[in-house]
Amino acid sequence: MKRLLDIKKILLLLLVVMIVSGCGYRPSAKFSRDAIGEKISTSVVISAQDPENTVIIKDAVDRAIIEVFQASLVSRATSDTHLVLNMGTPSYSPIIYDENGFVVGYRMRVTLNIVSLHNGISKNYSAKGFHDFTVAPNAIVTDKERFDAIEFGAARAIRSFVAQVSAEGARSKK
């Protein structure tokens, strides 16, 4: 009986693999790698008003390149593509109020302007991200909350950039 179940599982797995491969499924990382290359270098323009956030953005971008693009981080001299990132000024807006009218929730918005230099061609992208967070009533936003919000918002903006590049790669394959 157990052997029959194992055979059924194997057949079901084979059927799923055949259906997925037969429909032409390709992961978005493949499309983005086709559009942007295997070896990527990055640089971030340091903001004079908010230099601490530059490190956060650089780390988030490098993490996304490794995890989402599934590409290698290399020096600019050996890269297929160089990304230059510039973060606009983060904006905070109140979104949740308590029963006394105090702000207890904010939405932080980040805009990343990204210039992609690939094969001598420069392309400009604009990616936006946001992060909602709460604070105690009548409290100020601490640096930790601000940095965390910027990091999460930047990560969303980077995912938006990845989606743009993947769509561009998919369109170029048609």
**Domains assigned to the chain:** 28-172 (3.30.160.150)
- 98-153: pLDDT as tens digits: 998 888 999 999 898 999 888 888 999 999 999 999 888 777 778 888 888 888 88
Cβ(158)–Cβ(61) below 8 Å:
yes
- What amino acid is encoded at 157 in this protein? A
- CA 62/CA 140 separation, integer angstroms: 31
Report the pLDDT value the prediction gives residue 118, as an integer from 0 to 100.
83
DSSP one-letter code for 47: P
